[in-house]
Every structure is written in C-alpha cells, then in structure tokens.
Chain A
C-alpha cells in the first residue's frame, strides 16, 4: 500500500530564508506524488506533481521538489520564503494497486513565516 510520511508537523522560517518541507513515501511501484497547499479556511491548491518524468519538478510560486528514488523522498523546497507562504502543506501519493486514483495524504506540515 502507498503512504507518505511528512517528517515535520511544524516548520518556522524567517522571511527571505529557504524553505524545506520533508516527505518520504512508501510505494510498491513508481508512484505519482504531489504537493498541495491549504491556506487557512481555504481549499487545497496543487503546487506541483511528479509523474515519472523529470525528477526535479517545478511548481507554482517558486516551489520545487526533487524525487529521489534511492532515498524514497520527495522534499519540497523554496529558495526564499514569503509571508504569503504561511499555510499547511500536504505531501500526497496517488495510485492504488487496482483501478483507483484516490489520493493518500500525509499528515501535513504547518509552515510559519516570521517577519
């Protein structure tokens, strides 16, 4: 079965400093991986997705993630944090063993950005 583990429940950075949100996945085959962001009292917005093409995936708002099979990781990074990046971030894996596309969410990482 597929699963994702987000290694940090809370991350706090200063504005203008790099962001690193860590995610490890478990899958019996090549997974599709996503990062979604949820701002307070808002819906889920797709940041980026990996689907076995380039291992370095660029997303919206300057975010990117690198798929590392040897480390079973899909960490999300951004060179310089902005106040508007404060939100909850979910690492997500898709694709079950059968004909299913259900998304399996990690427990989320709450990113705080200090001025």
Chain B
C-alpha cells in the first residue's frame, strides 16, 4: 500500500538559510499534519491542513510557514534557520476532516534537517 512520502529525507543547511520540506499524503487523504521531533524528544505538533485550509496550529515559529496544494501535497517552508531547528520533521496524513479524532494518522519516514 502507498505510504506518506517525504522529501528530502536528509537536508543540511547553514544558519540563516531557508529550507523547504515536502510531503505527499497517502492517495485520497485530504488532511496533512506536520510534527517536529528534536533530538531525544517526543514529536511536537506544528500545523495541520484540511482541504487546503489551515485547520490547526501548534508550536510553529513565525519563521516557518506551510501550505497544502490542490493535489493535497504540503510544503513546510523554513526561513532564517537556527541551530535549534535541527530535528526530524514528520508529516502525517489522514482521511477525513480535522476534528474527527478517530481518524488515524499515518506518518511518513521524516526529513532529518541539520542546521550547521
């Protein structure tokens, strides 16, 4: 079965640079979530989209922005990168509107971002 695809899998950037992470949800899934997992930490919710509209926002820095496109893929744009942004960024997708809390979220393999 098709899974969530994230690209790139690894990314190395310098401080103050920008980065774009991409997420392709499971086919027919219309809801996308982004999570950040710092070293030795649990994943923290950043932001979610349903039908191309932002549905919820967590602890996402103002330097970050995200959107969901008409084909339901999502991009997380990160500017003015800081050392503390080094983390594993997960995308998850689900079928159904945000708020239907029984919908299972399926996670991608993650993008490991390293900021030097």
Contacts and interface: CB of A to CB of B under 8 A. Distances in A.
A90 B42 contact: yes
B25 interface: no
Contact of B48 (A90, A100, A106): A100
Contact of B105 (A51, A100, A103, A108): A103
B39 interface: no
Contacts, number: 71
A44 B110 CA distance: 9
A44 B43 contact: yes
Given A44-B43, A44-B90, A105-B43, A100 B109 contact: no
A24 interface: no
B33 to A, nearest CB: 7
Interface residues of A, number: 26
Contacts of B42: 90, 105-108
A36 B106 CA distance: 10
B106 A101 contact: no
A34 B42 CA distance: 14
A95 B55 CA distance: 13
Interface of B: 31, 33, 35, 42-45, 48, 55-56, 58, 90, 92, 94, 97-110
Interface of A: 31-32, 34, 36, 42-46, 49, 51, 90, 94-96, 98-108
